[in-house]
Amino acid sequence: MPKLIPSKLYSEDTGMAHAQCKICQKDFGEHEIYGVQKVYKNYPNQEAQVLFDFALCQTCMEEARAELSVESRLRIDQFIMGKLQVLEAKGVDISESFQEETCSLSGKLLSESKEYQVVAVCRGDELLDSPMVMSDDILEQIQELLSEESKDELNRFNENNFGWPPELKKIWQDGDYVLL
């Protein structure tokens, strides 16, 4: 049975599943595969706040990834695979990390993470794979794997393709978030 997208991954703007690519404005319809990204920040004594969220079609996701150098991409893939293997060896089931509010790659509790990012692959109103959750420590480590060149390329890509308002642009540039 297909899994439905949990409401937590709905668009903050519409309160429904994301329906449009943030970059090319393509409507997803029922058949298009797309990626949802949400970045959360924890504040003391309140629920985590969504800093920003958006969805990208496959083509735009691939273009974003193509901005990274081959070496950066390879390093990130190897880093993620390595973390997954460690968890697998420990018998941790990462498919539940989103529901259990833990980091998919380190197991850290999200409530103890200053900020975190969720990436999910969807089609129509279906969730195609378990959402990947990354806590602050993992995001920092991934940033360190990016070459300066890749960071510049990603910033340029953001600048050219996302119409972020200035305050969001600043968060995006200063933060450790990654387009995956």
Give the binding site for Zn ion (CB under 5 A).
21, 23-24, 26, 57, 60
If the CB atoms of residues 21 and 154 are measured against Zn ion, the closer one turns out to be 21
Contact call for residues 113 and 101 (beta carbons, < 8 A): no
Q: Which is nearer to Zn ion, 106 or 158 (CB)?
A: 158
Min dist CB 23 to Zn ion, Å, is 5
| CB closer to Zn ion, 23 vs 80 | 23
Instruction: Tell me the closest approach of the beta carbon of residue 56 to Zn ion, in angstroms.
Output: 6
Q: How far is the CB of 22 from Zn ion (least distance, A)?
A: 8
Q: Which is nearer to Zn ion, 10 or 162 (CB)?
A: 162
Nearest distance in Å: CB 58, Zn ion? 8
